[in-house]
Structure 1
């Protein structure tokens, strides 16, 4: 049997590669293009659409390492189709021979002297404005000062962030955020407001029928701030959602009793039982595809990374949904 010469004939029409390419073709990438110089100097930049499609395709397959993406451009047919069989796209190599000219500011002598000047100025600033010595018990992460110690699911602590998601049906993400506070109760209001902003930006006009959260998000301040919404938050972990017994009123803080009364009705209990099936699989699917480790460091960088992971998650959800509903 002869192998087709055109790589595009190696993939079936419903392959993930074609879906990603079609999706990227509908994206507005003008902000990438605006960063390119238009004076005719330098070599032509790689097409942003190609690089975005390559990134989305590889992330969809759980490939996040740049070295593995580079390797995939050699042995993955989908990557080779996206990059038009150009392996240099994965690592940003130039095909020209010889060493490119070095700008004056990048010459070794200039860089070395500039670094010495910065160190001297830093020491001078410290001498003029000495900072107090931290206490002996102070600890900080040298690789990511913005991260914090979080309780690990397997016991003990780890250095990282607190992942927060809002899921609709089929675990479609309406919001995904990271916070440096291990307590979930501080995230409820911000996650609700972020979800509302995302829905407006996406043109979703239908109101959320119920906002469901477990008892880790119970907070009097949050209940007051979101009083206008159909909010159902467990105020105690004692009775299961399908229990007909309500906890004793004296065991519930005064600011939580109105929420406890709201949850005591059969309709509310039936609604709340859907919480676990909505959000818990969402966490599991994210961790299964991407793991629990982030590649970036710092608030801005990790926020960008987590948004990328959430969009890849949603993209694949939409692809699968369309495949199921197609006649």
Structure 2
């Protein structure tokens, strides 16, 4: 082909230096949700975060990353289902909304990960702040609240669960490995070898610490089992050996929504009829019954009020729970246990019923109560589905009850802030 017949194309030139000015403001439309999130973050009281910063005035030290930037990044990331600090770091380099939040502030995954799990108490106060704003604007009125729980997969494998005997053997092996590595470090003068050996020693020590934590948790589980068994007849007591994970000692094997059994945490949410989360709780107890009273007290602590109507499913129902709901000033709506005999009217008060229990039985037989109770699934299960599917709260990437609680709090705050954003946009 002659030169005159060859096609003319523009070829890439990758070794050409160039300057590309960027206007971050122009990259994000005025109506983009990230702007509303940043506006709300700026209005929150973040003084507790700033009080911990050591770099001040002319004092020596590297300036800290602005906590408002880190908080806004996680809130927006959570709303988009991003739960990985490494992925969030990459998004801050390439995606316009995340770059806009950063505004040129460099962030890395270590800073992001540490911020997310090290500020549980501060996030707890932020949750209360956001709820107060929603109540002030009339979005949350606590007229009707539904509670539900979901099992969230822990960051631990089933094979990591071991019996006490196996843990004791692992501890001896780990202790011997630590001692061996320390002897090798002391006997080898080479600096480079020492660094390698020191890294191995840290890994061995971490393994030993994990086994020690698992053994300590065995003691906790044994004590809990004894306390539960004291309330049961002898033929109903559990006989199997206790197993604890060496990966996440505080996780427990629980029955999941699909019927399988896997390491998990029990995450509880209470949702107002406005769709706002008004209470959260995380435990490693797989049953729901013990979590009614703590959640009601949690709502009272955060809002200063008690819901007028409280909706729970059959997994939460005990007579003590129904009584406790009524004692706190709420009207309980929950399904009645199925009577053993078809001749028994489940809606008729029984001889030993307290007034609150008797009223609950009668109430649940009315058409009004049935219409109210139908909303439980709409409120509670919709919230759980949103958090599980859209915010990726289906599998945890942190370990330990304290860190899991911070992850759940952050998810709830993000969920509520998007409700607040929607409320203000529609006003």
Counterpart Cα distance in 2 of 1:254 and 1:158:
39
1:68: Cα distance to partner? 0.8
Q: Cα–Cα, structure 1 residues 252 and 191, in superposed 2: closer, same or farther, change >3 Å?
A: farther
Equivalent residue number for residue 27 of structure 1: 44
Change (3 A) 1:84 1:164: same
Tell me the SS of whatever aligns to 2:103: coil
Matched with 2:92 is 73
SS at match of 1:181: coil
Please tell me the root mean square deviation across aligned C-alpha atoms, in Å: 3.5
Q: For residues 144 and 252 of structure 1, do their structure 2 counterparts lie closer, same or farther at Cα, with a shift above 3 Å needed?
A: farther
Structure 1 residue runs without a partner (length 5+): 94-107, 127-131, 239-244
Shift in alpha-carbon separation, 1:5–1:299, aligned structure 2, 3 A: closer
Equivalent residue of 1:145, what SS?
coil
Q: Secondary structure at the match of 1:14?
A: coil
Q: CA deviation at 1:69?
A: 0.6
Equivalent position of 1:273 in the other structure: 374
Q: Is the 8 A contact 2:349 2:362 kept in 1?
A: no
Match of 1:199 among 279, 303, 306: 303
For the pair 1:300 / 2:402, whether they are aligned, the reply is yes
- Residue 64 of structure 2 aligns to a residue in which SS? coil
Q: CA deviation at 1:189?
A: 0.9
Matches within 5 A, 1:28-177: 28-37=45-54, 38=56, 40-86=59-105, 88-91=106-109, 137-177=241-281
**1:141 deviation in Å?**
1.1
Q: CA deviation at 1:77?
A: 0.3
Q: Taking structure 1 as reference, are residues 285 and 55 closer, same or farther at Cα in structure 2, changes over 3 Å only?
A: same
**Alignment deviations for residues 49-97 of structure 1 (CA, whole Å, 9 cap, x no partner):** 11111121111111111111111012210111111134x313469xxxx
Give me the TM-score of the superposition, normalised by structure 2: 0.59
Match of 2:321 in 1: 222
1:304/1:274 Cα in 2 relative to 1: closer, same or farther (>3 Å)? Answer: same
Shift of 1:208: 2.5
Q: Aligned partners of 1:167 and 1:253: how far apart in 2?
A: 33
Classify the secondary structure of the residue corresponding to 1:319: helix
Correspondence for 1:317: 419
Structure 1 residues 164, 298: closer, same or farther in 2, change over 3 A? Answer: same
Q: CA deviation at 1:212?
A: 1.0
Structure 2 distance, partners of 1:154, 1:251, is: 37
Change (3 A) 1:43 1:4: closer
Deviation of 1:5 after TM superposition, in Å, equals 4.3
Contact preservation (8 Å) 2:24, 2:100: yes
SS in 1 for 2:68: helix
Q: How high is the TM-score relative to the length of structure 1? A: 0.76
Larger Rg: 2
Q: How far apart, in 1, do the equivalents of 2:37 and 2:351 lie?
A: 50
Gapped regions of structure 2 (runs ≥ 5): 1-19, 112-193, 213-217, 223-238
State the shift of 1:280 in Å.
Answer: 1.2
CA distance in 1, matches of 2:93, 2:261: 40
Q: Distance in 2 between matches of 1:290 and 1:247?
A: 40
